[in-house]
Amino acid sequence: MTRELQLGRPRSIFTVPRAMKGIIFVALGFAAITSPYLESPASDQPPPRFSGGRAPQSPIAVAVPDLPATVTTSLPTTAAAATTTTTTPGGLEPAVRLRDLWREKISTEYVTYNVGCASDLSAAGLSTFFGQPLGPIQGFDGPRIYPLGDGRYLWILQDTFIDYVGGQTSFAHMNYANSTAMIQDGTCFTALQRGSTTDAQSFELGDGLVTFDRYFWPGGGMVVGDTLQMFWMEMIRDKKTKRTKFDGPDFYPTRTWLATYDVATMKRISFVPAPNDGVFPVYGYHVASEGQWTYLFGNSYLQNLGREGGYPKGPHSATNMFIARVPFGKLDAQPEYWDGQGGWVDSAFASVPYSSRYFTENSMLPVLIDGKWVSATKQDGFLGSAVLVDVADHPWGPYTTVKTLLALPRNLDTTDMVTYHALVLPWLDPSGGLIVSLSQIPLALGAEDAPPKYRPNFWLVDI
């Protein structure tokens, strides 16, 4: 940013009706999301903190149908991407199309197919593009974006539903994968899929023991030279802890892994435990660099509140953000940890959070843009109804909130909808504003009209 961030009116790609502007904490509901089911969503109230010993109110449970087994057949043909040339908005990094030559190098372990091109890389262009099916990809959430160093970006998507049959209107009849990948080249996107054209498998299979009860979700990562390194969180389904309908999903992170991929082929080179493979917090939940250091942001990512005594026992561990650092690009090095006093120590036990706020979740994913650290955070995750944009001079803060936005889904339809996972994209809108992505999901994930509602939205936020 060549100018200071200023507090002002946020701009969305849509116009918010006047009646909605006064609703700062709109009732969006609490969704406990599992894979591939949506279970026990609840709550239409933001979670109050303890005050004078008074516990927070219990949210209201909403029943959601389970999904039957998936059905798959052949992959429909998609149109080839154009070979035009574009430049990245904001001038942050070149994004010249590589004329698809890179596809010839992709490992044969992947099935690749075009999913189309956005009109441009603005917030409006991305919102329109991601609001429609991406080839056979009908819905997903929690995107993570990794610059590949040559103008391309790798997108890792969570909990993806894929329609190989064509014409399916319900996720109940689609294939499902915990993680899938797309490569963005200019304005066009290519999906990389493990498995076959009738049976998608997760992009990251870990040690090969991926099941409904054990799988891997993406953390932070970066490219150094010709390799991409990424942290992955091993997720386990908890079948023992007693939970109520208010305590979130039953899965939880149990270990942190570090994967290395060849950028040209995307072939995985290694998959090993992270130097700090713990999960309280997950160091590597997010990764970003400045100067000689790469910073590993830490969060427990524990949405299973039953493992911490249940929803009323907050504030919960995911409300704390930690930070560690390693020499630039050395994700396989032992980190040193911020001590809260401006220093760094070798012991993770001596680290302190740089941000502690809210009641259930404070998942910050800061990015460095023109010398400023910028983060968009969904207050209290599934429970909250606001997205806060924070800015700092240093990755460890202190962060100042410069914008507070209503966490509204696409088309402003809040009926049985939940929003979560806010993310600042690593380039600016052509207007110079931030692009903020926000995931959304309908409570009735098995409904016939669910697929268009389970796709992230993109906002333009003035700076």
What confidence category does residue 313 fall into, taking pLDDT thresholds of 50, 70 and 90? very high
Residue 131: DSSP 8-state: T
Residue 462 has pLDDT above 50, yes or no: yes
Average model confidence (pLDDT) across the chain: 82
**185 vs 1, more confident:** 185
Residue 20 has pLDDT above 70, yes or no: no
Query: Which residue do the tokens 């009738």 mark?
Result: 198
pLDDT at 149: 93
What confidence category does residue 131 fall into, taking pLDDT thresholds of 50, 70 and 90? very high
Report the pLDDT averaged over residues 33-49: 31
Question: By mean pLDDT, which of 58-62, 202-206, 269-273 is the weakest?
Answer: 58-62
What confidence category does residue 26 fall into, taking pLDDT thresholds of 50, 70 and 90? very low
Residue 9 has pLDDT above 50, yes or no: no
Report the pLDDT averaged over residues 281-305: 97
Grouping H, G, I as helix, E, B as strand and the rest as coil, residue 394 is coil
Give the distance from CA 85 to its chain's centroid: 28
Grouping H, G, I as helix, E, B as strand and the rest as coil, residue 11 is coil
Sequence-distant (≥ 6) Cβ neighbours of residue 366 within 8 angstroms: 286, 288, 297, 373, 374, 375, 390, 392, 395, 399, 424
212: nearest Cα among 39, 419, 454, 446: 39
Give me the percent of the chain exceeding a pLDDT of 70: 78
Residue 32 has pLDDT above 70, yes or no: no
Query: Which residue do the tokens 């009849």 mark?
Result: 173
What confidence category does residue 152 fall into, taking pLDDT thresholds of 50, 70 and 90? very high
pLDDT at 279: 97
Distance between CA atoms of residues 424 and 93, nearest Å: 16
pLDDT at 15: 33
User: How many CA atoms are closer than 13 Å to the CA of 421, on its beta-carbon side?
Assistant: 23
Report the pLDDT averaged over residues 285-311: 96
pLDDT at 5: 34
What confidence category does residue 67 fall into, taking pLDDT thresholds of 50, 70 and 90? very low
Q: Which helix (H) or strand (E) holds 19?
A: helix 18-21
Q: Which helix (H) or strand (E) holds 125?
A: helix 123-130
What confidence category does residue 99 fall into, taking pLDDT thresholds of 50, 70 and 90? low
Grouping H, G, I as helix, E, B as strand and the rest as coil, residue 173 is helix
Report the pLDDT averaged over residues 287-306: 97
Sheet harboring 457-461: ordered strands across? 417-424, 434-442, 457-461
Give the DSSP letter string of 20-83. HHT-SS----EEEE-SS-EEEEE-SS--PPPBTTBPPPPPPB---PPP------PPPP-PPPP-
pLDDT at 245: 76
Residue 379 has pLDDT above 80, yes or no: yes
Residue 22 has pLDDT above 90, yes or no: no
Q: Which fold has domain 18-461?
A: Tachylectin-2; Chain A (2.115.10)
Task: Please give the structure tokens belonging to residue 326.
Answer: 């390693």
User: Is the previous residue joined to 398 through a cis bond, with omega within 30 degrees of 0?
Assistant: yes
Residue 97 has pLDDT above 50, yes or no: yes
What confidence category does residue 450 fall into, taking pLDDT thresholds of 50, 70 and 90? very high
Instruction: Choose the most confident range, by mean pLDDT, from 141-145, 197-201, 244-248.
Output: 141-145
Residue 70 has pLDDT above 50, yes or no: no
Q: How do residues 348-357 score in pLDDT, each as one tens digit?
A: 999 999 999 9
Distance between CA atoms of residues 166 and 396, nearest Å: 47
User: Is the previous residue joined to 17 through a cis bond, with omega within 30 degrees of 0?
Assistant: no
Distance between CA atoms of residues 422 and 1, nearest Å: 20
Q: Which helix (H) or strand (E) holds 255?
A: strand 251-262
Query: Which residue do the tokens 């490992």 mark?
Result: 107
- Asked if 290 contacts 326 with a C-beta cutoff of 8 angstroms, the reply is no
- Asked if 400 contacts 4 with a C-beta cutoff of 8 angstroms, the reply is no
Exposure string for 100-109, b = 16+ CB within 10 A, e = fewer: eebeeebeee
Report the pLDDT averaged over residues 216-223: 98
Query: Which residue do the tokens 């091993």 mark?
Result: 234
